């Protein structure tokens, strides 16, 4: 396999995950999770979103969370915004980066942000201006890039035209999001082969959901095409409230374990990350989908049973 030496993971659990939790997670606990993630060495965290508080009440405390987190040097604290109003709030709250959202399919964009794609692009043009004035970098995410829960297939020329419009308004970092886990590895390869040469200089991110157990295979396919930025959620939290059938992102600790096992560096301390995942399970009050929390790393060894111990032939 052609794998990079190092990848950058952006933790999105406190945004993509907490936004869909049935109960409001108290602000102090959100701050605690962000702090623990940073202490585990997470290079990027999408802390929250600056969206309409009535639309996503779970994240109505975005300003307060941003004000209360203790910043670790080396971690970039970002937030998701759908429009310039969100961007102004995010900049005032002191984010290090803005992540924007628009969908590749009209129906999901309308369901998610109550705008057509063209209307969203207009709002995102204003977001770019706000960010430029504040000298804050922007990453532009595209939901339903690999399929839409309402429309099914998203034609590649359609996705390309959304990327084109984002690049035209100044996007330098573009995230392809598989909002409801519809992508497969061959498709990820095909989409990247099509887009990457057409948009030289763009830094690509893959945002996966493990709805159909294809998230890590999709990430492997993207790495083979040279992508080195991936979103993931602690414990495998996550899901879009406005996409029926959506479920958790790729689980951060499972992904980090897989990458480290293959010799791909992340700068993240896996043991500490597993500890954060346990704490998040306590906070949400249920077991999360992650496997490594249950199984331990692949280097884990169990004691040899007594019935076997005396019968093992010596090596050599
Ligand atoms: N934060 C807070 N308030 C906002 C806002 C933002 N980012 N954007 C708009 N508003 C307010 C406006 O000021 C206006 O307030 P008013 O009624 O007091 O004047 C009101 O919301 C309506 O504004 P409008 O532009 O018509 O928004 P809308 O009602 O069409 O909603 C969004 C559009 C984008 C704000 C809303 O759909 C949204 O927040 N979506 C986020 C979805 C999401 O987070 N999905 C999951 C992540 S992908
Ligand atoms: Zn998502």
Cβ of 18 below 6 Å from ligand 1: no
**Mean pLDDT, residues 200-218 taken together:** 97
Question: Is 90 exceeded by the pLDDT of residue 99?
Answer: yes
User: What confidence tier does 209 reach under pLDDT thresholds 50, 70, 90?
Assistant: very high
Q: Write the pLDDT tens digit of every residue in 267-284.
A: 999 999 999 999 999 999
What proportion of the chain, given as a percentage, has pLDDT over 90? 96
Question: 52 C-alpha vs ligand 1 centroid, how far in Å?
Answer: 4
φ, ψ (nearest 5 deg) of residue 53: -65, -20
Query: How many angstroms separate the CA atoms of 17 and 249, rounded?
Result: 8
pLDDT band at 316 (very low <50, low <70, confident <90, very high): confident
Active site residue 258: no
Residues with CB under 5 A from ligand 2 (ion): 16
Ligand 1 mean position to 125 CA, how many Å? Answer: 16
Ligand 1 atom 28: the closest Cα is on which residue?
Answer: 114
Ligand 1 pocket, 141 CB below 6 A?
Answer: no
Tell me the C-alpha distance between 102 and 32, whole Å. Answer: 30
Q: Which atom of ligand 1 is nearest to the CA of 179?
A: 48
The pick from 18, 47, 52, 144 for probing ligand 1's pocket by mutation, whose C-beta has the most ligand atoms within 8 angstroms, reads 52
Rounded to the nearest integer, the mean pLDDT of the chain is 97
245 — pLDDT class (breaks 50, 70, 90) = confident
Instruction: Return the percentage of the chain with pLDDT > 70, whole number.
Output: 100
| pLDDT value of position 315 | 85
Is the CB–ligand 1 distance for residue 214 below 6 Å?
A: no
Phi/psi for 79 (5° steps) reads -145, 155
Q: So what's the pLDDT on residue 208?
A: 98
Average pLDDT of the residues in 250-278: 98
Give the number of the atom of ligand 1 that is nearest the alpha carbon of residue 241: 46
- From the alpha carbon of 15, which atom of ligand 1 is closest? 47
**Residue with tokens 């207009």, as numbered in its chain:** 122
Question: Is the pLDDT assigned to residue 206 strictly greater than 80?
Answer: yes
pLDDT tens for each residue of 38-61: 999 999 999 999 999 999 999 999
pLDDT (tens digit per residue) in 153-187: 999 999 999 999 999 999 999 999 999 999 999 99
DSSP string, 260-305: HHTT-B-S--HHHHHHHHHHHHHHHTS--S-SHHHH--TT---PPP
Of the candidates 140, 240, 251, 258, the residue annotated as catalytic is 240
Q: What's the predicted TM-score (pTM) here? A: 0.97
Residue 310 reports pLDDT greater than 80: yes
223 touches 3 (CB < 8 A): yes
pLDDT at 117 over 80: yes
Mutate to test the pocket of ligand 1, among 50, 51, 238 (most ligand atoms within 8 A of CB): 51
pLDDT in tens, 3-44: 999 999 999 999 999 999 999 999 999 999 999 999 999 999
Q: Is 90 near ligand 1, meaning CB less than 6 Å away?
A: no
Kindly tell me if the per-residue pLDDT of 84 is higher than 90. Answer: yes
Q: How far is the CA of 209 from the centre of ligand 2 (A)?
A: 6
CA-closest residue to ligand 1 atom 47 = 240
> What does the CA dihedral 191, 196, 9, 20 come to, rounded to 10 degrees?
-40
pLDDT of residue 251 exceeding 90: yes
């Amino acid at each position: 396999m052609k794998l990079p030496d190092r990848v950058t993971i952006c933790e999105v659990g406190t945004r993509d995950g907490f936004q869909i939790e049935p109960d409001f997670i108290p602000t102090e606990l959100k701050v605690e999770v962000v702090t623990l993630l940073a202490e585990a060495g997470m290079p990027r965290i999408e802390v929250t979103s600056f969206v309409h508080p009535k639309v996503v009440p779970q994240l109505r405390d975005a300003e307060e969370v941003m004000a209360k987190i203790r910043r670790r040097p080396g971690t970039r604290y970002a937030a998701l915004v759908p429009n310039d109003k969100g961007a102004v709030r995010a900049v005032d709250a002191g984010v290090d980066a803005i992540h924007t959202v628009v969908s590749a399919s009209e129906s999901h964009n309308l369901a998610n942000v109550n705008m057509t794609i063209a209307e969203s692009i207009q709002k995102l043009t204003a977001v770019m201006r706000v960010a430029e004035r504040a000298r804050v970098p922007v990453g532009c995410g595209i939901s339903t890039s690999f399929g839409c829960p309402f429309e099914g297939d998203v034609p590649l020329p359609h996705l390309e035209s959304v990327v084109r419009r984002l690049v035209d308004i100044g996007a330098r970092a573009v995230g392809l999001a598989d909002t409801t886990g519809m992508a497969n590895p061959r498709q990820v390869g095909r989409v990247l082969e099509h887009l990457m040469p057409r948009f030289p200089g763009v830094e690509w991110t893959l945002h996966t959901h493990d709805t159909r157990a294809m998230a890590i295979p999709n990430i492997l396919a993207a790495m083979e095409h040279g992508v080195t930025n991936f979103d993931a959620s602690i414990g495998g939290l996550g899901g879009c409230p406005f996409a029926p059938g959506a479920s958790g992102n790729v689980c951060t600790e499972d992904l980090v374990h897989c990458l480290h096992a293959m010799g791909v560096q992340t700068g993240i301390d896996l043991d500490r990350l597993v500890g954060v995942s346990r704490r998040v399970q306590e906070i949400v009050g249920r077991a999360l989908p992650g496997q490594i929390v249950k199984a331990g790393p692949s280097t884990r060894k169990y004691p040899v049973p007594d019935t076997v111990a005396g019968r093992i032939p010596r090596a050599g």
